[in-house]
Amino acid sequence: EANLPSGEPRAAPTMFRGLSTLARLTPAALAAPAVALCDEKSARGALADLIDKSEARRGDGTSLGPTMVRLAWHSAGTFCAKSGTGGSDGGRMKYCPESAWGANAGLADVRAVVEKVAQDHGLSRADAYTLAGVVAVAHMGGPEVPWAAGRSDAADGSTSPPDGRLPDADKGSLGGTVAHLRAIFYRMGFDDRDIVALSGAHALGRCHEEASGYWGPWTFAETTFSNEYFRLLLAETWTLKTTHNGRKWKGPDQFEDSSGKLMMLPSDVALLWDKTFRAYVILYSKDEEQFFKDFSRAFGKLLALGTKQNAGGGGGPLDGLRKLFGL
């Protein structure tokens, strides 16, 4: 589980503050009531407060922030550019079948608290799912990610796409896993650079055996967004995990560093195995500023996938994001 940095959340760049203002000023005929009444600033503050309170309550260096990133990622990462199905509009993960997918295990609790923020601050559920990831990335020290309100909420899961659209950690071989990653991300309209940049969210959080079968964090700073994931990929020697707490490891294949305290999934190690992917891993390990820039662009594009124009001919705030990302 990618539980994919502190202080008050930073203001969005001017262009996106403009889009957010447009979301609030859009006439009721052009936007759902929840969006027209949206108080984005207070919603951002409430989401940041949830992260801070969870960190203080846990007292172990973890927080709800990385799980918010994973929630946002998985709510949008079902998009298919060819069919136009899936994506972040609808907030369908609330319902079966998406809520029951193995890839979404462990997300029920964070959905509940984020949905409460949506109710309290006039957001649609779908907007809140994605905004949570945007706030979490910035709050944990990462870049500002472009975002605008305007998503609607589905009444049930009847329009959910088929299972299998989110990336798997292992396809049995490094070559097979590389091919799988490309199939998953190319389907959404991403390229190899985007694949590696988005994988950098594994700087956050950890895997939990009860959710995915895998165990452990990718880095020693689970609530700090940085390029540490890429640095560790290259600097450490990653070997197959064979033991855990003195006993034989019975979980799926994963890799560990020499200390046994850090892990990498087969899909992470696959980024080293493929020459094109590896070149971007090297780039981001040396240049955090470039990583932040590329991640912000790719994650913003991801969260806008599957959104529809507002009724009445478009022109809503999400249209600005679609034009920015060429959607």
73, 74, 147, 202: which one is catalytic? 74
247: how many CB neighbours lie within 10 A of its CB?
7
Reply yes or no on whether 218 is catalytic.
yes
Angle CA 29–33–39, to nearest 5: 125
Residues facing residue 278 across a β-bridge: none
Reply yes or no on whether 74 is catalytic.
yes
Q: Do residues 190 and 298 lie in contact, with contact meaning Cβ atoms separated by under 8 Å?
A: yes
Q: What is the dihedral of CA 288, 290, 293, 294, to 10 degrees?
A: -110
73, 147, 215, 218: which one is catalytic? 218
- d(CA 2, CA 268) in angstroms, rounded, equals 12
Helix (H) or strand (E) holding 220: none
State how far Cα 112 lies from the chain centre: 17
Sign of the torsion angle spanned by Cα atoms 199, 202, 208, 213: positive
Helix (H) or strand (E) holding 109: helix 108-121
Residues 6+ apart with CB under 8 A from 169: 177, 212, 214, 252, 254, 265, 266, 267
Question: Could you tell me the two tokens for 89?
Answer: 């509009």
What is the secondary structure of 3-49 as a DSSP string? -----SPPPPPHHHHHHHHHHHHS-GGGS-HHHHT--HHHHHHHHHH
- d(CA 298, CA 72) in angstroms, rounded, equals 13
- d(CA 137, CA 243) in angstroms, rounded, equals 33
Helix (H) or strand (E) holding 207: strand 206-207
The residue type at 104:
N
Write the DSSP symbol of residue 219.
Answer: S
Catalytic center residues: 74, 218
